[in-house]
Amino acid sequence: MTCTFNRKPSSSASGTSLPKSSSRWVTLLGIASALAFPASLNAQPDARQMSLFVNNCLQCHTRPETGAPVIGVSEDWKAIASKGEEAILMNVVQGIKGMPPLGYCSACSEEDLRVMLRFIAGMPNKSGEK
């Protein structure tokens, strides 16, 4: 179920525009930003992992209204990245705040989740690597 109450718009909304309607652009910009990191430094999901990433992670991490940190918005990830990979991994597996356990991804292995969290948070390939 979803129960929502009226919240005054943060900016004027009209016509057929919905907060979600901008999600595609946020997605594109976010992925573009993430991929813009030099491949040697930033984790790069393979095709299978990218498919899992798109089907699971992006449903929230492209939508600011969910409260989730948004892909490509570096300031959203600073505090999270500072926790370190192991702590983030535990949060991903067990869920945190509005984030469901495993980030919805039942097909993801531990390695898949590590690659995805490094990718989305802009962290280096190996834990602790600068």
Partner 1 sequence: MDRRKFLQNSLALGVSAAAVGVSGCRQQPLDLEPAAAFKPGEPMPWINWAANQSCTPEWRSAPASVDELMESLKTAKGCVRAVGAGHSFSPVVPTDDTLISMDLLSGLVRHDAEKQQATLLAGTRMHTMGPMLHSVGQALPNMPDMDYPSIGGAIANSVHATGTTFGSMSSYVTGLKLATLSGDLIECSADKNPDIFKAAQTSIGSLGIVSEVTLQNQAAFNLTEVSSAENLNDVLDNIEQRCNDHRHFEIFPIPYSDTCLTIATDIAKPGDQAVGEDDPQAVNTVRRVFDATSWIPVVGEGLYDKVLTTALAGESETVRTGPSYQVFPHVRVVRFREMEYTVPAEAGPACVREILKAIKDKHLPMCFPLEYRYVKGDDIWLSMFEGQAGCSISVHQFGDLDYKKVFAEIEPIFWKYGGRPHWGKIHTLDASKLAKLYPRHWQDFHEVRRELDPQGRLMNRHLKTIFGS
Instruction: Write out the residues near partner 1 by the rule CB under 8 A.
Output: 1-10, 13-21, 24, 48, 51-52, 55-56, 59, 63, 65-67, 86, 89-90, 93-95, 97-98, 100-102, 104-110
Tokens representing 54 are 């798109």
Shortest spacing between CB 115 and partner 1, in angstroms: 14
Q: How far is the CB of 38 from partner 1 (least distance, A)?
A: 27
- For helices 110-121 and 74-81, angle between their N-to-C axes, nearest 10 degrees: 130
Task: Compute how many other C-beta atoms are within 10 angstroms of the C-beta atom of residue 73.
Answer: 14
Residue whose token pair is 């918005």:
73
Instruction: Choose between 31 and 105: whose C-beta lies nearer to partner 1.
Output: 105
Cβ pair 129, 55 in contact under 8 A: no
Question: Is the CB of 21 or the CB of 82 nearer to partner 1?
Answer: 21
